[in-house]
Structure 1
């Protein structure tokens, strides 16, 4: 895919993010009092799990610095968004952006969009910030927030690693499979949007 076509795909993905309706994809955190609760929570939020793996897949397709930079940007900006959520700072369009992130990342993977690492980091960072904010607002004031966040970060990084591992499988067949997974990711995001409308 040419760089120009990749930029067009990224533009379409971002426009989808702007057009989404609220979806309330987060249904509550349950216990947020321990490291173990933080480890478990990403595995029970379908939207979060899909996006974490998708970041890893897209990083693997892009290769080079994206392999470490994009997961690092995601975790960093997720924590920044989480801190604002814990502090009670309101951010508009959190839920629509979270659902749009699933569709957008799926499209970027399906198209094998080869964006510069900085451009991909900006897209991923934006989505990460909103994911973090949603989870930060779910943490009760009385919870062990730092322990919970530490567990959450570990599982997030492991899910990124799972996506990278799948994306690094060699051969055209596996590259085609990764792109197919990207298309399925976009469809899953659309399904979550429709299901929550």
Structure 2
């Protein structure tokens, strides 16, 4: 059980990496921007690839009526997510330490993982809902108006994951280093549960 508990501690502690590294990346590729434009999505706000990327993205969005990129003051998520992730990381580390002294069983590892998975799914759902609103709730007075073949306003929603062509841009969305470390941490906690389960059967 000790090895399982140590892995649990390491896995849940990897959540703290989200306070250092970004969770997600959204990149815009276009011929007029050979180096691309992009932003990193952190738990507590957005950061451009370069100093002026967020400003340039907002400038482009203005012409097609998209909203300005949100600041931490604009979205409750940027204030709440750090508390949730920090709380889950501390809880996971605590459960791991209790496991070291046989105060809890491997089932607690699974319980933490299930809870973290549910929170992760809810977070992705919320992120996708924001992308939908960001890409479809357009200013009717926009300088450029584009409609599809049926005459409906064109959706500029970036993909949640993967690539999508949006006019002359290609939007690419993928996990950043923090998101990768988060995934590794959750995988480690599952491994900790399996090791604990195997140990309990002996």
Give TM-score scaled by structure 2 length.
0.29
CA radius of gyration, larger in = 2
More strand by share: 2
Whichever structure has more helix as a proportion of its residues is 1
The normalised TM-score by structure 1 is 0.29
